[in-house]
Amino acid sequence: MPVSEHIAFVVNGTPRELDVEPRRLLVQALREDLDMTGTHVGCDTSQCGACTVHVDGRAVKSCTMLAVQADGSSIKTIEGLAAGDVLHPMQTAFWEQHGLQCGFCTPGMIMTAVDLLGRNPDPTDDEIRHAIEGNFCRCTGYQNIVAAIRAAAAAMRTGAGATA
């Protein structure tokens, strides 16, 4: 039998413990072991960013991190972004600006965008486009994603329900 490691971390505010193979990726632990399938896998070379989550407050491609490396950390996924029924301003902005079509890249894109606004609350379009370079979208041509992040930034600067 494969060796397994015991890990403990906090996911969306809830303490979780798992026994995982050392080779298990964080995204696999989230999707397969914790049944949190909002975080997606779009590639196998850390290019697409569909698996982006927050680890200790920073955006991380969860296919690029072993689950054992997340031991002791605090993780936020797309499922934990809204405050109950109140959407995060970034979620609202993606909805209002038509920042998604098939929706597959959307969770990772939103988590990356929230990370950007945490570091830069008023980014230019160029800064937004640079910040999401590690997240592929094949549907939108990125235009309405940029518009959504711009709209979310404006909403969060004016304090419209910001919870990031």
Partner 1 sequence: MTTDVLGARIKRVEDPRFITGNGNYLDDIKLPSMAHLAILRSPYAHANIRSIDIAAAKAMPGVAAVFVGADIPYNPLPMAWPAGGSAGIQNNVNTPRVLATDSVKWTGEGVAAVVADTAAQAFDALDAIIVDYEPLPAVVDAEKAIAPGAPQLHENAPNNVVFEWSVGDKAGTDAAVDAAEVVVRQRLVNQRLIPNPMETRGNIGWYNPGTDEYTIWMSSQTPHIQRLLLAAFVMGVPEHKIRCISPDVGGAFGSKIFTYADYPLTLFASKALGGRPVKWVEARRESYGSTIHGRDHITYLEIAGTRDGEITGLRVKTLANLGGRLSTIGPGIPTTLYARVLSGCYKIPNVYAEVTGVYTNTTFVDAYRGAGRPEATYVIERAMDLFAAEIGMDRAEIRRRNFIAADKFPYENPSGLGTASGGAKIYIDSGNYEPALDKALATAGYAGIDKAKTDARKRGKYLGIGLSTYIEVCGVAPSKWIGAVGEGWGAAMWESANIKMHLTGKTVVTMGTQPQGQGHETTYSQIVSHELGIPMEDIVVQHSDTQGTPFGYGSYGSRTSSVGSTAAIKAAAKIREKARRMAAHMLEAAVDDIEVDGANYFVKGSPDRVKTIQEIAFAIDLAFDPPEGMEPYLDETAYHDTPNCTWPFGTHIAIVEIDEDTGHVDLVRYVAVDDVGKKINPMIVDGQLHGGIAQGVGQALWEGAVYDDNGQLLTGSMLDYAMPRASYFPNLELGETVTPSPVNPIGVKGVGEAGAIASTAAVANAVVDALSPLGIRHLDMPYTPQTVWRAIQGAKGGQA
Binding test (CB under 8 A) with partner 1, winner from 11, 110, 153, 156: 110
Binding mask 29-68 for partner 1 (x = CB under 8 A): --x---xxxxxxxxxxx-xx-x------------------
Give the residue with the Cβ less far from partner 1, 19 or 72.
19
Specify the residue for token string 């949190």.
Answer: 36
What is the rounded distance in angstroms from the CA atom of residue 19 to the CA atom of residue 146? 39
Q: Torsion angle of alpha carbons 49, 125, 144, 129, nearest 10°?
A: -20
Give the residue with the Cβ less far from partner 1, 72 or 95.
95
What is the rounded distance in angstroms from the CA atom of residue 145 to the CA atom of residue 88? 15
Site for partner 1 in 120-149 (CB under 8 A): 125-126, 128-130, 132-133, 135-146
> How many chain residues interact with partner 1 (CB under 8 A)?
57
End-to-end CA distance of the chain: 42
145-162 per-residue burial string, b: 16 or more CB within 10 A, e: under 16: bbbbbbbbbebbeeeeee
By CB under 8 A, name the binding residues for partner 1: 1, 21, 23, 31, 35-45, 47-48, 50, 77-79, 81-82, 87, 91, 94-96, 98, 100-107, 110, 125-126, 128-130, 132-133, 135-146
